[in-house]
A and B are shown apart, each in its own frame.
Chain A
Amino acid sequence: MNAHPWRQRLYHLVLWVVALAFFMPVLWIFLAAFKSSGELVSPNPVFLFRPTMDNIIRVVQEPNFLDYLRMSFILSIGSVVIAIAVAFLAAYSFSRYRPTGTNFIMFLLLSTRMVPAPAVVLPIFLMYTALGWAKTFHGMILFYVMFSIPFSLWILKGFLDGVSLRYDETALVNGGSRLHTMFRVVLPQVKPGLVAAFIFNIIFVWNEFLFNYILGGQGTTMIPVLLATGVKQGGMTDWSFIAAISFIYMLPLILAIYVFQRYLLVGMTFGTVRGEV
């Protein structure tokens, strides 16, 4: 192991440099949130500066900001929780009853998530206009539920397939109902899958811009739309404003990802890599 300590240290150094390079854009925006606009747009990068809270205070006092932030929380958490509840029931059925064409049905459900969002935004917009759901709260939350169900279903089905049918059968023979079996016997065994599906989908919905911009209205706008549309001030892009919003907005998600990163892995592998959780 330690035959070449200097070489190993070199590897680790390279690793850290690369990782920090990946982190630079985030770091830049975090630092920018505490810079004056002069320091921020200076052609020579300013590394040493007097941090100021002015930007943050200005953003929080912005009339719409807290409304939008609240909407981000409500839509993200609300839709993902609903989606996971639905997906658990669906995944249980797919895993236990294996309806004919399970794989194809699972593929169809995931298909909207496999194409670029702009490709499906128009058909969905037309559907929403026809249904009268555009610019409504229930339409928006329903869209994000639909948006979050496929991945949740895939993740949870992976977990449920890992829970032996013998658990269900033992429960049934011992006098348990099907609902008892689902919620008292199987559900507790896929908790890591629920967390994985939650964190994985929260990332998507929290950062979603396009559909919120096209389908949403004044009452259902989330922060990413504000970032993209509300940043002009006197014909100029207000970078301090962007940086401050970004800082506030990124913080909860980055903390959540850091805390739940091991679940993120199982989410990305649809529950097939579960050793760690």
Chain B
Amino acid sequence: MSNTGLADTPILRLEGIAKAYRGTPVLIDLDLEAAPSELTVVYGPPASGKSVLVRILTGLEHPDAGRITLRGQDITAEAPAERNIGYVPQSFALYPHLSVRANISYPLDLAGVPASESRAVVAEAAAMLKIEEHLDKKPDQLSGGQKQRVAIARGIAKRTDVFVLDDPLAGLDFKLREQLVDDLRGLNAATGASVLYMTSDVIEAMTLADSLAVLSAGSIVESGPPERLYRHPRAVATMALVGFPPANFLRGTLEHRGDDATCNTPLFRFSADIADNRASGDVIVGLRPERVHLSHGNGSTVGDSDGSITFPATVTLREDLGGEDIVYLDASGIPLAMVDRDHDRSTDLGDAVTVFIAPSQLTLFDATTGDRIGHGAHRPSPSAARRPPPASVAHHG
């Protein structure tokens, strides 16, 4: 299902895109590729530059620098109409004076497609999105979810092979989002079109994406299959953004002694496998909340025999998500989040607990560049656990 797009010639490629408004850079040296017939999701937090990216893709704005190649053609200077991109805007932007049917057939009418032909396309799109019974209504007679379906139908009715969807499910209720995510997946599979999908919802992004591109602070920090981005992020921003609840980060320092590297954090110290034998220096240690475990009672009774790092903490908050809890911990002044699937402990607020972490679950990033440099190792280190935290505690995230 997922491929990195390396084998195929990308249908869409953005290289070195830059855009600034009144001297404030919004997009900075942005590179992005979309493989044909894939669902490429651009995921970025609010204000990361998604909307500007969409405007540049569709031709509503031109980049200050960089090149856009679509279907092998340089389209950087082309007007929106020449690009032949199917577009679902974030706000539905359904034409209130037109019926639902006329809204959906709008791109076809503009292209001069004969009515007999467009009727069939409209019927097909409406059936796919289950809005057949609303075709003769006006948009203001529809609910929000129905409007969104009409907007999607209008986007996909266009005769083209490339679609840009700008956060089309934003603001819709949860159930409807799930339903529409399924619809969109099916749609992509059925039509074989290339879809570029913008979202600020990480779960939506991971569910939909064949290939996921993480947009942060105006550039794509990393892209690839969502599983890889989740499991083996190459950039600290990827680890911070991909995954829910968000990852924990600690500041640390890396020391090399011979072939061994050791990482010190305010909470614990551990051996590390470092890709290239880098010089010592500041690092950021990332840790997934799903990989944190805890036990009640006195942590000192638990040895280091299994190689786990242990340290004491206090439970400050539990959020019950039904199937699991998100537990917020205070470890010597450093906040940590974890996912707990054990429901019997729902009344442990304020309790002292012991935190367990497998060292291999710790990911190390260079504090300056944000690049991944290695991960924790199971090599036993004589004084690996339970170092008292130093007085001045710096933390991240």
A164 at the interface (CB under 8 A from B): yes
**Binding site secondary structure of chain A:** helix
**A164 B81 Cβ-Cβ under 8 A:** no
B333 to chain A, nearest CB (A): 47
Residue pair B80, A172 in contact (C-beta under 8 Å): yes
Complex Cα distance A188/B97, Å? Answer: 7
Pick from A164, A175, A188: contact of B93, CB below 8 A. A164
Give chain B interface residues in 68-120, CB to chain A under 8 Å.
79-81, 83-85, 87, 89-91, 93, 95-97, 106-107, 110-111
Interface string of B106-139 (1 = CB under 8 A from A): 1100110000000000000000000000000000
Contacts of A218 in B (CB 8 A): none
- A residues within 8 A CB of B95? 167, 185, 188-189
Q: How far is the CA of A189 from the CA of B34 in the complex (A)?
A: 37
* A97 CB to nearest B CB, Å: 13
Chain B residues within 8 Å of A177, by CB: 81
A174-B91 contact given A169-B58, A188-B97, CB 8 Å threshold:
no
Cross-chain contact of A170 among B83, B87, B96 (Cβ < 8 A): B87
Asked if A172 and B81 sit within 8 Å, CB to CB, the answer is: yes
Of residues B95, B96, B158, which shows the largest number of chain A Cβ atoms within 10 Å of its Cβ?
B95
Chain B contact residue count (CB 8 A cutoff): 23
CA of A209 to CA of B97 in the docked complex: distance in angstroms? 40
Q: Tell me if B97 and A189 are in contact (CB < 8 A).
A: yes
Taken together as a complex, chains A and B put the C-alpha atoms of A83 and B111 apart, in Å, by 33
Do the beta carbons of B58 and A189 come within 8 Å of each other?
Answer: no
Q: Does A166 contact B (CB under 8 A)?
A: yes
A176 to B106 alpha-carbon distance, docked (Å):
10
Known A172-B59, A175-B110; further 20 A-B contacts with Cβ < 8 A: A164-B91, A166-B91, A167-B93, A167-B95, A169-B89, A169-B93, A172-B60, A173-B58, A173-B59, A173-B60, A173-B83, A174-B87, A174-B158, A175-B80, A175-B84, A176-B81, A180-B110, A185-B95, A189-B95, A189-B96
CB-defined A-B contacts under 8 Å, sample of 22: A164-B91, A166-B89, A166-B93, A167-B93, A169-B60, A169-B89, A169-B93, A170-B89, A173-B60, A173-B80, A173-B81, A173-B83, A173-B85, A174-B81, A174-B110, A175-B80, A175-B84, A175-B107, A185-B95, A188-B95, A188-B97, A189-B95
